[in-house]
């Protein structure tokens, strides 16, 4: 029945007011022998048609686990979704039967993985693997499916696709393998595409090709794209909105231009200051001290407090600050976001001497002691 | 962390610079074997004629995409890999003609920090054993009685807790492990350290800590670095001079401004234009040069200029005659570039 409706051109799933995906207060934990790791602690975001949302974070921040939870491919056990909702086109897909959930993967929500070599099956030709999507989901016969696969390989700009449709994954270069992954992901014309570090393993010139390809495909199909990455450069190039993750929480969410101009969370600020820039020879990098927390022992209070240079007692002892609106269309989870926005380093350039002085006085009022002395980081000193 | 003035970090201009390492025409070909008899059927030309000079206290960055031969070059500079041809002079001594004891003594002065801090540290040894191992091989470096203390000093120098001397590598994070690797690298007071992608396995926030550490050590100990990396932003940050490699050859070499602000080789221009800059306001302002296709195989490199198959400037001469790496004007000065049609272009 579902297949028939699809053939008639009507999608079974239609976005509600342009919103494709809505994640609300998602909680994921990993139950391991060493203890319970709280990988995701209340993540909420939404994705609209044609929008690119970048989820930015370091390793262990929970960005990939978020993607896996949305896709429904979380390794379980040890991973468990313990709370929250993931609504696709208004319906909570966590409540769906496994079989229904599986039918979503591919035609509705699809994913491109980081390591194409291990994501592709080494013993089948790539054309056959792409064609599998059509055989499984659309019930096509082998010949038709292979013809579709060829058409897709041409669309992702694989040179000499006709000759290479029978080649095996190891016969392709890294960039070409990533194109094949993308071909598989877009085969069934999904509404949401999740790209998990799609270019991390690739060289910069190839990265540029792949990012352009993704952008073109997205524009063509009005896909919602979730781009998971740790690369602030890639994000600046393609994203509409950014969610910055730290220790399983979104600490800041904003439209991309505003975030780069003036970060509202100390972690975002630290990240932006710690990367060297290609277009200028900088001074010493302002590194964030310490390490990301162990997810089995997330510090009480704000999880960033041991590494934060603005940290106060309220950050250490009060419950973690909630993600709240700190400026127009900007969310941040920090007690001092307004202060940060009011005199971020970038703004100081245009401030008058009197304003700078006032800002220093404000600083002196709130900061009785430097964050470092009272919150020593156990292992690494800077 | 103290704030080192940027001017202190930079070595004085060309005059009075002391040469420490000189490579002339380094070549490394790896045989390709096939068949039951393992007959050699061809060669991978990983490094194919590389020459450069390194001066005391400076950092030479080597950038290039995977497969360009930058890591093979690094291993040859350590003599971990015997060259197919070429000459390497370290402090006036021909390195490749040294044997036994004299080679071992030479190795004290030239050390390496590896890319992957997870596989380059022996998991069965404690941090003290790992950092102290150079003293086992070079017993005259530090008297036996003082070794443990020296190891603790080294740990302190790289920002690790000296009391963690008895811990094992798995008890440390990636950034800390890289610090252990660096402590081992500086243990023998070398003059040159080869850093082979030292920060590419690390998270952004930790990467900055390690880059800062390398710079601090350079100031304190007067080290010269060969900094091999694929991340052009990091290389710009740390390097005084930069060499760009493509398919086993240096295509352009010059100081930081010459390479980044006035690149004359089309490959350098394409490479730079592909690097995303973390500033969304530059999105439309930056012009991206898209290279088509992949890097050709080093087993069968193109004739003439190796870049001509992907170059938008290529003419007939490019596929016939190999352009030499010679001084070519870049607008306001001149630096070495290997392109028949070298002309400066602003891409960053």
Low-confidence ranges of chain A (pLDDT < 70): 1-12, 282, 343-382
pTM of the model: 0.82
Nearest to B278 among A257, A277, A382 (CB): A277
Chain A contact for B203 (CB, 8 A cutoff): yes
The CA R_g of chain B, rounded to the nearest whole Å, is 21
Q: What is the pLDDT of residue B178?
A: 92
Chain B contact for A231 (CB, 8 A cutoff): yes
Reading the block at residue A163, the tokens are 């000759």
Q: Which domain holds residue A187?
A: 2-239
Residue whose structure tokens are 């390490």: A291
Give the chain A residue whose CA is nearest to the CA of B279.
Answer: A236
Beta carbons of A204 and B290 less than 8 Å apart: no
For A329-366, write each residue's pLDDT tens digit.
Answer: 899 999 988 888 886 554 333 334 444 445 445 544 44
Closest CA to B72 of B50, B103, B99: B50
Beta carbons of B290 and A277 less than 8 Å apart: no
Residues of A in contact with B172 (CB under 8 A): 379
Beta carbons of A278 and B277 less than 8 Å apart: yes
Architecture (CATH level 2) of domain B17-239: 3-Layer(aba) Sandwich (3.40)
For B135-194, write each residue's pLDDT tens digit.
Answer: 999 988 888 888 999 999 999 999 899 999 999 998 888 888 999 999 999 999 999 999
Give the chain A residue whose CA is nearest to the CA of B347.
Answer: A279
Nearest to A382 among B3, B159, B256 (CB): B159
Q: What is the pLDDT of residue B291?
A: 85
Q: What is the pLDDT of residue B174?
A: 85
Q: What is the pLDDT of residue A8?
A: 43
Q: What is the pLDDT of residue A358?
A: 53
Residues of A in contact with B282 (CB under 8 A): 236, 279
Instruction: Establish how many alpha carbons lie within 13 A of residue B289's alpha carbon, considering only the half-sphere containing its beta carbon.
Output: 18
3-state percent helix, strand, coil for chain B, nearest multiple of 5: 35, 25, 45
Beta carbons of A278 and B288 less than 8 Å apart: no
- Tell me what the mean pLDDT of segment B43-68 comes to: 92
Q: What is the pLDDT of residue A240?
A: 94
Same domain, A227 and A272: no
We report the CATH number of the domain holding residue A78 as 3.40.50.300
Q: CB–CB of A301/A316 below 8 Å?
A: yes
Nearest to B205 among A208, A271, A279 (CB): A271
**Inside any domain, residue A170:** yes
Average pLDDT, chain B: 89
**Inside any domain, residue A244:** no
C-alpha dihedral over B179, B183, B185, B188, to 10 degrees?
A: 170
Residues of A in contact with B238 (CB under 8 A): 276
For B263-318, write each residue's pLDDT tens digit.
Answer: 999 999 999 998 888 888 888 777 888 887 778 888 889 999 999 999 999 999 99
Beta carbons of A278 and B279 less than 8 Å apart: no
Count of domains for chain A: 2
Chain B contact for A200 (CB, 8 A cutoff): no
**Inside any domain, residue A329:** yes
The more confidently predicted of residues A215 and B4 is A215
Chain A contact for B180 (CB, 8 A cutoff): no
Question: Where in chain B are all domains bearing CATH 3.40.50.300?
Answer: 17-239
Q: What is the pLDDT of residue B16?
A: 63
Give the chain A residue whose CA is nearest to the CA of B267.
Answer: A205
Beta carbons of B237 and A159 less than 8 Å apart: no
**Inside any domain, residue A381:** no
Nearest to A175 among B203, B273, B294 (CB): B294
The more confidently predicted of residues B13 and A237 is A237
Chain A contact for B162 (CB, 8 A cutoff): no
**Inside any domain, residue A313:** yes
Q: What is the pLDDT of residue B60?
A: 96
Q: CB–CB of A226/A55 below 8 Å?
A: yes
**Inside any domain, residue A382:** no
Alpha carbons B250 and B266: distance in angstroms, whole number: 13
Q: What is the pLDDT of residue B200?
A: 85
Which uninterrupted H or E stretch holds A253?
strand A249-255
Q: What percent of chain B has pLDDT over 70?
A: 95
Same domain, A84 and A114: yes
**Inside any domain, residue A379:** no
For B80-101, write each residue's pLDDT tens digit.
Answer: 989 999 999 999 999 999 888 8
Rounded to whole angstroms, what are the CA distances from B71 to B52, B65, B113?
15, 11, 12
Give the chain B residue whose CA is nearest to the CA of A278.
Answer: B233
């Amino acid at each position: 029945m579902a297949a028939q409706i699809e053939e008639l051109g009507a999608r079974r799933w239609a976005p509600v007011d342009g919103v494709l995906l809505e994640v609300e207060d998602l909680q994921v934990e990993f139950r391991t022998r060493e203890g319970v790791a709280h990988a995701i602690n209340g993540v909420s975001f939404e994705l609209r048609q044609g929008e690119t949302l970048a989820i930015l974070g370091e390793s262990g921040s929970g960005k990939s686990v978020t993607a896996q939870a949305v896709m429904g491919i979380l390794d379980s056990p040890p991973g468990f979704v313990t709370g929250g909702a993931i609504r696709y086109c208004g319906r909570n897909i966590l409540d769906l039967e496994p079989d229904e959930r599986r039918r979503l993967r591919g035609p509705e929500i699809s994913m491109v993985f980081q390591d194409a070599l291990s994501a592709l099956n080494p013993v089948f030709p790539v054309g056959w693997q792409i064609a599998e999507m059509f055989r499984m989901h659309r019930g096509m016969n082998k010949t038709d499916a292979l013809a579709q696969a060829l058409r897709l390989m041409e669309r992702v700009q694989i040179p000499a696709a006709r000759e290479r449709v029978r080649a095996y994954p190891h016969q392709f270069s890294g960039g070409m393998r990533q194109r094949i992954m993308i071909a598989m992901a877009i085969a069934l014309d999904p509404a949401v595409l999740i790209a998990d570090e799609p270019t991390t393993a690739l060289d910069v010139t190839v990265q540029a090709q792949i990012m352009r390809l993704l952008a073109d495909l997205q524009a063509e199909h009005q896909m919602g794209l979730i781009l998971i990455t740790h690369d602030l450069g890639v994000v600046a190039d393609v994203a509409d909105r950014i969610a910055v993750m730290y220790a399983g929480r979104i600490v800041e969410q904003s439209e991309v231009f505003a975030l780069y101009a003036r970060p509202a969370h100390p972690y975002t600020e630290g990240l932006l200051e710690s990367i060297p820039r290609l277009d200028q020879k900088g001074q010493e990098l302002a590194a964030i001290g310490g390490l990301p927390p162990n997810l089995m022992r997330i510090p009480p209070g704000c999880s960033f407090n041991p590494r934060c240079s603005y940290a106060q007692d309220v950050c250490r002892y009060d419950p973690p600050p909630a993600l709240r609106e700190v400026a127009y269309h900007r969310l941040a989870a920090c007690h001092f976001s307004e202060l940060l926005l009011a005199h971020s380093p970038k703004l100081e350039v245009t401030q008058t001497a009197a304003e700078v002085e006032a800002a220093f006085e404000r600083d002196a009022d709130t900061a009785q002691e430097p964050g470092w002395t009272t919150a020593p980081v156990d292992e690494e000193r800077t | 962390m103290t704030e080192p003035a940027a001017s202190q970090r930079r070595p004085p201009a060309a005059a009075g610079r002391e040469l420490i390492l000189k490579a002339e025409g380094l070549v490394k070909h790896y045989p390709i074997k096939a068949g039951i008899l393992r007959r050699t059927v061809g060669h991978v030309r990983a490094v194919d004629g590389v020459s450069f000079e390194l001066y005391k206290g400076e950092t030479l960055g080597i950038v290039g995409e995977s497969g360009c031969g930058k890591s093979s070059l690094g291993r040859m500079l350590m003599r971990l890999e015997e060259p197919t041809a070429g000459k390497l002079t370290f402090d006036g001594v021909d390195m490749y003609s040294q044997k036994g004891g004299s080679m071992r003594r030479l190795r004290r002065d030239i050390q390496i920090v590896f890319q992957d801090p997870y596989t380059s540290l022996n998991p069965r040894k404690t941090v003290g054993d790992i950092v102290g191992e150079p003293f086992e091989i070079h017993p005259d470096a530090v008297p036996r009685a003082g070794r443990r203390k020296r190891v603790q000093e080294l740990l302190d120098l790289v920002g690790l807790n000296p009391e963690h001397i008895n811990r094992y590598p798995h008890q440390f994070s990636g950034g800390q492990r890289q610090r252990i690797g660096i402590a081992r690298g500086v243990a023998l007071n070398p003059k040159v350290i080869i850093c082979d992608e030292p920060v590419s396995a690390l998270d952004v926030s930790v990467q900055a800590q390690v880059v800062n550490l390398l710079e601090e050590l350079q100031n304190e100990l007067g080290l010269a670095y060969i900094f091999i990396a694929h991340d052009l932003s990091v290389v710009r940050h740390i390097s005084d001079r930069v060499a760009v490699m493509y398919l086993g050859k240096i295509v352009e070499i010059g100081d930081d401004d010459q390479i980044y602000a006035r690149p004359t080789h089309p490959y350098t221009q394409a490479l730079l234009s592909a690097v995303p800059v973390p500033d969304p306001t530059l999105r439309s302002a930056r012009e991206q040069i898209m290279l088509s296709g992949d890097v050709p195989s080093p087993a069968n490199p193109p004739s003439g200029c190796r870049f001509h198959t992907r170059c938008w400037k290529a003419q007939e001469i490019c596929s016939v005659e190999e352009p030499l790496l010679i001084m070519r004007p870049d607008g306001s000065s001149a630096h070495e570039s290997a392109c028949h049609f070298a002309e400066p272009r602003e891409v960053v």
